[in-house]
Amino acid sequence: MKLRIGYELDYDFPQPTPVILMLNVHFSRVSDLAPPDHIRIQPSVPVSAYRDSFGNWCTRLLAPQGPMRITADAIISDSGLPESHDLNAGQVPVEQLPEESLVFLLASRFCDSDRLLDLAWQLFGHARPGAPRVQAICDFVNQRIAFNYNDASVTRMATDAYGEGRGVCRDYAHLAIAFCRAMNIPARYCTCYLGDVGTPPPYPPGDFAASFEAYLEGGWQMFDPRNNVPRIGRVLIARGRDAADVAIATTFGPNTLTSFKVWTDEVVEGAT
């Protein structure tokens, strides 16, 4: 299967403003792209790129005063199959975890797992360690939080999401990650493209999606507490400790996002 992926972001800057973008498809999927998802900026400005400490591809620029459009459009190949999990994967003891996974055991800005230790063990201590325990966490979070785009907040932490019982996909991911870490399971935040392939209409407006990966026997596995069912066509963009590490745009000055469009659409072969 092929997917057309991309975005169109329109900003207005009242003054020249430094910007860091994290919008390119993750390096692990670059070989599936044709053509590449090059970022196009209007008006044209010089850009530079670097990899952050998690391996994500980042783009730096100085936005001039006035309106600016940031866009990309690409085709990516995908298996077309629903995501699968090894539900028999066990939990890896902390002393046997690889060093690179240990940072994902620690509390972070939005995943305040240290404040959820007792609650996590009360809720999930009975679940079989490993994938069954992670799935039990996803089931709980899926029912605990009511999804509403109007409830989006850039400052809501995992404990807030638990207490308020509302939020968007990032809040589902943050709470599930925090519970996993409280149960000694490394978990990392993921931002992705995720369309509606294989789901019944009507479809909501396109958006980027948050999910997470848990480290279990056999390696990292993707989980999605917001949808909590296997999905088709998830395309990874970036990974980090939480949403603060993988913001699609970090701006160092005042600005207004005037328009926001994201698409992840199946390409129908032979369509005119």
**What tens-digit pLDDT sequence spans the chain (272 residues)?**
999 999 999 999 999 999 999 999 999 999 999 889 999 999 999 999 999 999 999 999 999 999 999 999 999 999 999 998 899 999 999 999 999 999 999 999 999 999 999 999 999 999 999 999 999 999 999 999 999 989 999 999 999 999 999 999 999 999 999 999 999 999 999 999 999 998 988 888 889 999 999 999 999 999 999 999 999 999 999 999 999 999 999 999 999 999 999 999 999 876 54
Cβ neighbours, 10 Å, residue 240:
22
Phi then psi for residue 31, to 5 deg, are -65, -15
User: Residue 126: helix, strand or coil by DSSP?
Assistant: coil
- 146: β partners: 166
Q: How far is CA 137 from the centre of its chain?
A: 18
In terms of Cα–Cα distance, which of 108, 87, 109, 106 is closest to 97?
106
In this prediction the pTM is 0.95
> What is the number of alpha carbons within 13 Å of residue 11 lying toward its C-beta?
24
> What's the rounded Cα separation, in Å, for the pair 158 and 107?
10
Give me 270's structure tokens. 């032979």
> What's the rounded Cα separation, in Å, for the pair 131 and 88?
6
Q: Provide the total of helices (H) and of strands (E) in the chain, helices listed first.
A: 4, 14
Contact by Cβ (8 Å): 223, 135? yes
